[in-house]
Chains A and B, each alone.
Chain A
Amino acid sequence: MEKTKPSMLKTIFGMMINPSGILKSAMLNTKWYFSLIVSALAFGLFFLQTGLDLYKTGQKGVDFLLLSAGVGVLYGALLIPLLGFLVAVILKLSKTDKKIGQIISLFCLSYSGALIYGTLGIAFSLGLGWKTSIAFGVSGILWAIGPTIVTIREMTGGKNAMSIPIATIISGAILVSWSIFGNL
C-alpha cells in the first residue's frame, strides 16, 4: 500500500503539536531546503518582531528593523544548521545510524513551532500594534524545545540522556544571543 506524503502545513503543525508522531515521515519525505526555509523564516520573523518592538518604542530606526529581519534570516539559515551539524557530530560519535543531513534537516524543522508563533506575532504586531517579540517570539523558541528533544531522542534510540542536555544548552544559547542582539 502506498503511503501518502504529508503536506507542508501538516509537517509544520505536526512537528509543533505531535513531533514524535510525524518524525519518521518527516525524515523520509522532507527535503533539506524545506527545513532550511522553516528555520530561516522562523528566526527572520522572530528577529523582525524584536526590531518592530524597538522601533515602536522609538529606541531604534527603520534601518535596525531591516537589519533585524536580515540577521534573523541568516541566524536561521546559517547558525541553526551549524548547530544542527554540531548535534549531528555528537550523535554520530554516539553511534547513531542516521545520516548527518537528516539530523540537520530535522533539527531545523524543530523550529516549526517558532515559525507558527512568528507568523502570528507579526500579524498581531502589524495588525494590532502589540509588542510581540517576547510573547510570541520567545514562546516560539520555547515551543521548539520539545520537538528538539524528541528529534535527538529518536536519533539516539529513545534515550533522554543526550537529548535534554543538548536541547538545554542550545535553547539557552539562543535566548542569550537574541537578547545580546536586542541590546545592540
Chain B
Amino acid sequence: MKSFVRFLCFASFGICTFYSVLEPTNPCRLGFGLLFGIIFGWLFKLFLNGFLGLFNPKIKKEHGKSVIKNATDTSMGFMLPFVFMLLIATFYLNWSHTSAFISAGIMAVGTASAIEIGKLIGKSSIKITIVTSAVCLLFSFTWILSTAFLIKVPPFIEGGAGIIKTLLSKGGVG
C-alpha cells in the first residue's frame, strides 16, 4: 500500500508536468510523463534509502534492514497533499508551471523521513535532518532541471513515430 502511494504520487507528478492544456489527451505526453515519474520516484526512494542506511548503520543493526525502507515508505505519504494541490492546479486552474508543488512535496518527504528516523532513535537528529534535506533538495533540483529539457522529448517521439508510421504505410524507404 505504501509503495503504491509513492507510485501514485510520482506518476501524478510526471503526468501533471508533461500535461499540456493544448493537447490534454496526448498519449505520448501523458505516457512519457507517467514513465518518467515512476522511474524518478523509484530512483528517489533508492537514494533516500541508501543515504539513510549509510548514515544510520546502528539502526539497521538494531532494528533490521527493512526499518529504513519502512521509514521512507511512510514518509512518502507526506506527498499526498502536494499531489492533491498539484492536480487542482493542473486540471482545475490550468496552470502550466507547477514545479513548486513537486519540489515542496519532495522536500516534505525529507522532513518526514527525519521524523520517522527520529522516532526510531528516540530523539530528533540534526545530522539526519541535514542528510534527508540534502537528498531531497538534490532530487527536487534534478526534477526541475531535467523536466525543463525533457519537456521537448514527447514531440520528438511523436514525430519519430509519425515518420515510421508513414514509411511503413508507404512500403518503406525507396
Which residues from chain A sit less than 8 Å from chain B, CB to CB? 18-21, 134-135, 138-139, 142-143, 145-146, 149-150, 158, 160, 164, 167-168, 171-172, 175-176, 179
Main secondary structure of the interface of A (DSSP, over half): helix
B93 near A: Cβ within 8 Å?
A: yes
Q: Is there an interface contact between B111 and A171, defined as CB atoms closer than 8 Å?
A: no
Extra A-B contacts (17), CB below 8 Å, given A18-B111, A146-B111, A149-B81 = A19-B111, A20-B111, A20-B114, A135-B100, A145-B108, A146-B107, A149-B78, A149-B112, A160-B77, A164-B78, A164-B81, A168-B80, A175-B85, A175-B88, A175-B89, A176-B88, A179-B93
- B75 nearest in chain A by CB position: A160
Knowing A145-B81, A168-B80, say if A138 contacts B100 (CB, 8 Å): yes
Residues of A within 8 A of B114 (CB): 20
B36 near A: Cβ within 8 Å?
A: no
* Cα A19 to Cα B74 with chains together (Å): 18
Q: Of B74, B81, B115, B129, which is within 8 A of A171 by CB?
A: B81
A177 to chain B, nearest CB (A): 11
* Cα A138 to Cα B99 with chains together (Å): 12
Residues of A within 8 A of B119 (CB): 158
B135 near A: Cβ within 8 Å?
A: no
